[in-house]
């Protein structure tokens, strides 16, 4: 999944109101802080805010090959909301999110906990091994898996045939989404594991001592101490995963060469926006689709975060 802070995760908190009497040193510090933040904001505004505003402006127009550009109001949005290709793509990534993310994060959490309890020497090496796929670019990973999935010469198919199981068709229209889930899981388990593992390392040792005195075993320790303690880190991986699944692009666009009939132009919303812009020459509609997708991601991320905060509060009250 994408590990990029998207436009939706957290708004910067409003600046603290300046007190009436800020000391000169404080003022100096504030100035320095703003100075350090300046490069970020310059890039943020020129590379994100301006294009975003411009795309929003574009999405309100309609341009045709014959007749040029006319103001269309929200027509592009209305069209997207009834566009089976867009809605189908959204449905597909939603399914992807519902199935793939729990598996991936569950495994990542399992590995993180396992590594954390391992006092053995090998843990560093194993950690690196699990993390390795993340270092492989998505493009390379997809091409590699594309070969592994191949029906005629792919090793998996050959082994299956040798075992008399027939040929599994990983790249058929019905299976390709699951094949993609497998690729993404393989790619991002390590990344999510590292985030959780880092959080686990920062849990104060007293908690463990207390738990041990209470006679908790390793499983009880993981369930009642470790997982609640790293809830914020897990939440972070969930948010990243939401953004990543809804923005799937590299995998479908690369698998398209291997299974063009299975990967439709609207396979994922992001891929659809790309095809609209560059194949259909419908830039304005593509902008509207991209905008809507951003909105969907923002809303889902917000509700997931809200839900998790609520349950956290409930638990605190219960204790």
Contact residues for another protein, defined by CB under 8 A: 1-4, 6-7, 47-48, 50-52, 54-55, 58, 63-69, 134-139, 147, 150-153, 172-173, 244, 247-250, 257-262, 264-265, 269-270, 273-275, 277-281, 283, 286-287, 290, 293-294, 297
Tell me how many helices (H) and strands (E) the chain has: 15, 2
Residue 111 or 188: the one with the smaller Cβ distance to another protein is 188
Could you count the other beta carbons within 10 Å of the beta carbon of residue 43? 10
**Whole-angstrom distance, CA of residue 160 vs CA of residue 169:** 11
- The nearest distance, CB 182 to another protein, in angstroms, is 16
- The nearest distance, CB 277 to another protein, in angstroms, is 6
Question: Do 250 and 265 meet the contact criterion of CB atoms below 8 Å apart?
Answer: no
- The nearest distance, CB 74 to another protein, in angstroms, is 17
Q: Which of 239, 299, 251 is nearest to 92 (CA)?
A: 251
3-state class of 68 per DSSP? strand
- The nearest distance, CB 84 to another protein, in angstroms, is 12
Residue 222 or 250: the one with the smaller Cβ distance to another protein is 250
User: Does an H or E element contain 221, and which?
Assistant: helix 218-221
Burial zone of 123 (CB within 10 Å; 0-12 exposed, 13-18 middle, 19+ buried): middle
Burial zone of 242 (CB within 10 Å; 0-12 exposed, 13-18 middle, 19+ buried): buried
Residue 29 or 69: the one with the smaller Cβ distance to another protein is 69
Residue 32 or 53: the one with the smaller Cβ distance to another protein is 53
Residue 3 or 224: the one with the smaller Cβ distance to another protein is 3
Residue 161 or 231: the one with the smaller Cβ distance to another protein is 161
- The nearest distance, CB 97 to another protein, in angstroms, is 13
- The nearest distance, CB 76 to another protein, in angstroms, is 12
Helical pair 50-58 and 283-318, crossing angle rounded to 10 deg: 120
- The nearest distance, CB 197 to another protein, in angstroms, is 19
Question: Do 64 and 286 meet the contact criterion of CB atoms below 8 Å apart?
Answer: no
Residue 111 or 134: the one with the smaller Cβ distance to another protein is 134
DSSP per-residue codes, 125-182: HHHHHHHHHHHS-HHHHHHHHHHHH-SSS-HHHHHHHHTT-----TTSTTTHHHHHHH
């Amino acid at each position: 999944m994408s590990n990029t802070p998207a436009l939706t995760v957290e708004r910067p908190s409003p600046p603290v109101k300046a007190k009436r009497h800020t000391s000169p040193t404080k003022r100096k510090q504030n100035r320095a802080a703003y100075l350090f933040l300046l490069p970020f904001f310059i890039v943020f505004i020129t590379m994100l805010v301006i294009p975003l505003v411009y795309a929003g402006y574009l999405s309100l127009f309609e341009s045709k090959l014959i007749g040029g550009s006319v103001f269309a109001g929200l027509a592009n949005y209305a069209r997207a909301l009834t566009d089976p290709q867009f809605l189908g793509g959204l449905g597909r990534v939603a399914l992807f999110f519902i199935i793939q993310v729990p598996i991936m994060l569950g495994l990542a959490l399992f590995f993180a906990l396992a590594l954390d309890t391992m006092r053995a020497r090998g843990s560093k090496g194993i950690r690196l091994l699990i993390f390795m796929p993340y270092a492989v670019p998505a493009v390379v990973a997809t091409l590699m898996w594309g070969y592994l999935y191949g029906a005629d010469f792919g090793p998996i198919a050959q082994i299956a045939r040798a075992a008399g199981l027939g040929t599994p068709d990983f790249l058929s229209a019905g299976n390709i989404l699951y094949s993609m889930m497998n690729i993404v899981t393989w790619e991002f388990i390590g990344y999510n594991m590292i985030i959780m593992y880092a959080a686990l390392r920062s849990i104060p040792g007293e908690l463990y001592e207390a738990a041990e005195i209470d006679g908790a075993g390793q499983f009880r320790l993981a369930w009642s101490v470790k997982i609640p303690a790293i809830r914020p880190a897990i939440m972070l991986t969930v948010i990243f995963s939401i953004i990543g699944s809804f923005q799937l692009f590299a995998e479908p666009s690369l698998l398209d060469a291997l299974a063009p009939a299975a990967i439709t132009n609207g396979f994922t919303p992001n891929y659809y926006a790309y095809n609209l812009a560059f194949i259909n020459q419908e830039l304005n509609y593509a902008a509207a689709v991209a905008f809507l997708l951003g909105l969907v991601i923002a809303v889902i991320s917000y509700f997931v975060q809200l839900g998790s905060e609520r349950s956290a509060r409930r638990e605190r009250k219960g204790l």
